[in-house]
Structure 1
Amino acid sequence: MSFSFFRSASRSPQWTPLELVYAIREGLRALDTETGAKALEEVEKNILSMKQLLSGNGEAELDPNQVSQVAVEVCKDDLLSLFVLKLPTLGWQARKDLGRCWCILLSQKVGSSYCCVDYIDNHVELLDFLIVCYNNKEIALNCGNMLRECIKYPTLAKYILESTSFELFFTYVELPNFDIASDALATFKDLLTRHENAVSQFLSSNFEQFFDRYEKLLTSANYVTRRQSLKFLSDLLLESPNTHIMKRYILEVRYLKIMMELLQDSSKNIQRSAFHVFKVFVANPNKPQEVIDTLLKNRDILVMRLSNLPTSKGGEDEQQLEEERDLIIQEIESMSSSPNSIS
């Protein structure tokens, strides 16, 4: 093509989708050359122009055909890959603009398919790159937003769940930077809640490995990690597609012991959350003998802890919690060594 990729962004209304995509692609490629400083300034302006074309700028009506054309063009010649790989090179505002473009582009259905999603599905190394970028505090939050957009699509979420990169989230949720750790936890939750059937299959196939790692989060020295991971575990186990996972979880005495320890945590919030998991162990009509023996051995201290369980909490059904606590205490007190003594 004869036009220059250094064309002024002030002329952005005259860009065609093909010209704009070409300009950004050539600008990103130029970031590795001696013209990098000039290219960075121009490519950031052109990314802003793309964002305006995709989402509108308040001056011109959004053209869905142009948006679709951009979606098709960014998948050609690997511009979508350059968006990810060159992200660390861009400035703060350009990364934000690019993230907005990413979200819009992935949602564009051209014909019968989401072409950008299909592209990523064929270049899954981009997902691994975005995950690893949680180690880069400058772009971690940008990558988190882009990852959560990817997770909306079943094939991309499934890849992440089954990839070795998924294991990194168990480390990321405990990073010392609170904002990054919280963002990683948000992505982690999305992965494990967005597509229920896929998650259920994943947990069934990776039960031991997953809950072994999750145990470290529940026993973390970090209060926020303990509280959030415990609350999320309670929600996860009580999801209807995960009933078989919950039934398997409550057969393990080591997980029971973790909940018993958390019942005496110094935090009232953690005590309440631990109770919601602990009660399922007790209410299980098919408790294994090892679980029964553990409950009997610790009956007196458990009754004392439960009797002192704080029930008052804003927004929570206090009466229901008290009723459940009293029922669990009664069941523990009436237990005998017979495996099926509790109805």
Structure 2
Amino acid sequence: MSFSFFKPSRPKTPQEVVRAIKDSLNALDTKTVVDVKALEKASEEVEKNFVSLKYMLQGDGEVEPNMEQVSQLVIEICKEDVLTLMVHELLNLGWAARKDLVHCWSILLKHKVESTHCCVEYIENHLELLDFLVVSYDSKDIALNCGQMLRECIKFPTLAKYILCDWLQWSFRYILDSACFELFFKFVELPNFDVASDAFSTFKDLLSKHDTIVAEYLTAHYSEFFDLYDKLLTSPNYVTRRQSVKLLSEFLFEPPNSSIMKRFILEVHYLKVMMTLLKDSSKTIQIYAFHIFKVFVANPNKPQEVKMILARNHEKLVELLIDLSVGKGSEDEQFEEEKEMIIKEIVRLSRVPNLLNG
């Protein structure tokens, strides 16, 4: 659907565009508007104004945006608290307006005014906006829009740190019994597949975009995090298990998480979880589980209990590993070499006195 007829005949100034957006969003507030026609008119105005905003931010394909105007636009949007209105009125917007809002949100956050990300700085001073976007995964109508907006926020370290660390720490301290404690661990298992998948994309970004922040968070909240992550690894939902073990196999091997990895591979419980996943009906899950399982086996400082479990289960483990393969090519050669090394170590442990019956 084309909205070219919305293009203003006389170009508006940034101040006029922002004022029009603010007025139309305020007019859309269903708490104050009871007349259906007035609401429809307000909705049309919002849609028209977001098209104007998009046009000014990115141009129209033929005319490049005026960067001085864009900077003034960003300043005015922050000054007039339009970002707050955009977030809180999301649920009242139509489909097209939400789509344009999300598109503009990305541009606004990236734009710098005199080396400063003004909109990011605004959100840093209005962190309740991040809270709203996070909990909106419970609102199916806007969950996907909020997910896109959150992932744009997560690109910036200060905002990612709040969502991952500060927001969760606040939850741990004050509302342990609320749904907030489970946060994305809950959202990735929502019954709506699209929403759950989107939540997992955001969850993955949180754990992969900023290594140092993630390492600090996992170090401070190791037990809380892995107690919840354990539920994802053992979920009856195939997609949840596959996504979770894949993500775990990725972020545990990041260099900043080496101390987390060393702690993780000392825990018998997680060895047993990986052994269970090695028996999963999905070959893909088996492969991801193997990449974590092999570190338990290859660890030169294995705890006695880990050695005993590997020794006692050596026959089933060797049988599973022999049947496991990734296909053909150089990747397969490396996999087979690693697998052979792991099998040899398991067999060696099975021959150590006292491990089988210790």
> Normalising TM by the smaller chain, what interval?
over 0.9
The answer to whether the Cα contact below 8 Å between 1:12 and 1:49 also exists between their aligned partners in 2 is: no
Structure 1 residue 36: Cα displacement:
2.4
Question: After the TM superposition, which segments of 4 or more aligned residues of structure 1 sit over 3 Å from their partners?
Answer: 164-167, 312-316
Letter in 1 for 2:197: S
Matching of residues 308-327 of structure 1 within 5 Å = 308-309=323-324, 311-313=325-327, 317-327=331-341
How far apart in 2 are the matches of 1:323 and 1:315?
A: 13
The answer to whether the Cα contact below 8 Å between 1:218 and 1:226 also exists between their aligned partners in 2 is: yes
Distance 1:217 1:314, change over 3 A: farther
Question: Is 2:128 aligned against 1:125?
Answer: yes
Distance 1:307 1:314, change over 3 A: closer
Deviations 1:182-236 (A, max 9, x none): 1111110100010011111111111111111001000011101101110110011
Question: Is 2:190 aligned against 1:187?
Answer: no
Structure 1 residue 77: Cα displacement:
2.7
- Partner of 1:228, secondary structure, is helix
Letter in 2 for 1:76: K
Q: In structure 2, what is the equivalent of residue 3 of structure 1?
A: none
- Partner of 1:227, secondary structure, is helix
2:67 aligned to which of 55, 64, 68: 64
Q: In structure 2, what is the equivalent of residue 48 of structure 1?
A: 51
Give the total of aligned pairs: 331
Structure 1 residue 314: Cα displacement:
6.7
Distance 1:300 1:40, change over 3 A: same
Deviations 1:23-50 (A, max 9, x none): 1101111112243221111111011110
Q: In structure 1, what is the equivalent of residue 292 of structure 2?
A: 277
Structure 1 residue 337: Cα displacement:
5.6
Q: In structure 2, what is the equivalent of residue 28 of structure 1?
A: 25
Q: In structure 1, what is the equivalent of residue 269 of structure 2?
A: 254
Structure 1: 5+ residue stretches without partners: 1-7
The answer to whether the Cα contact below 8 Å between 1:24 and 1:43 also exists between their aligned partners in 2 is: yes
Matching of residues 104-143 of structure 1 within 5 Å = 104-143=107-146
Q: In structure 1, what is the equivalent of residue 90 of structure 2?
A: 87
- Partner of 1:58, secondary structure, is coil
Deviations 1:107-144 (A, max 9, x none): 11112321100110111111111111111221111111
The answer to whether the Cα contact below 8 Å between 2:266 and 2:303 also exists between their aligned partners in 1 is: yes
How far apart in 1 are the matches of 2:190 and 2:295?
A: 31
The answer to whether the Cα contact below 8 Å between 1:47 and 1:98 also exists between their aligned partners in 2 is: yes
Deviations 1:274-305 (A, max 9, x none): 11100000000001112112112212221121
The answer to whether the Cα contact below 8 Å between 1:296 and 1:337 also exists between their aligned partners in 2 is: no
Q: In structure 2, what is the equivalent of residue 331 of structure 1?
A: 345
Q: In structure 2, what is the equivalent of residue 4 of structure 1?
A: none
Distance 1:166 1:45, change over 3 A: farther
How far apart in 2 are the matches of 1:13 and 1:191?
A: 43
Letter in 2 for 1:323: E
Letter in 2 for 1:40: S
2:13 aligned to which of 16, 24, 30: 16
2:245 aligned to which of 207, 213, 230: 230
Q: In structure 1, what is the equivalent of residue 175 of structure 2?
A: none
Deviations 1:50-97 (A, max 9, x none): 011101113433100111111111111311100100011111111010
Deviations 1:290-335 (A, max 9, x none): 21121122122211211222x1337871111111111101001111
The answer to whether the Cα contact below 8 Å between 2:287 and 2:326 also exists between their aligned partners in 1 is: no
How far apart in 2 are the matches of 1:181 and 1:54?
A: 31
- Partner of 2:18, secondary structure, is helix
How far apart in 1 are the matches of 2:62 and 2:214?
A: 44
How far apart in 1 are the matches of 2:338 and 2:24?
A: 63
TM-score, normalisation: structure 1:
0.93
Question: Is 2:214 aligned against 1:199?
Answer: yes
How far apart in 1 are the matches of 2:310 and 2:81?
A: 59
TM-score, normalisation: structure 2:
0.89
Percent of matched pairs sharing the same residue:
58
The answer to whether the Cα contact below 8 Å between 1:193 and 1:199 also exists between their aligned partners in 2 is: yes
Distance 1:195 1:302, change over 3 A: same
How far apart in 2 are the matches of 1:313 and 1:105?
A: 45
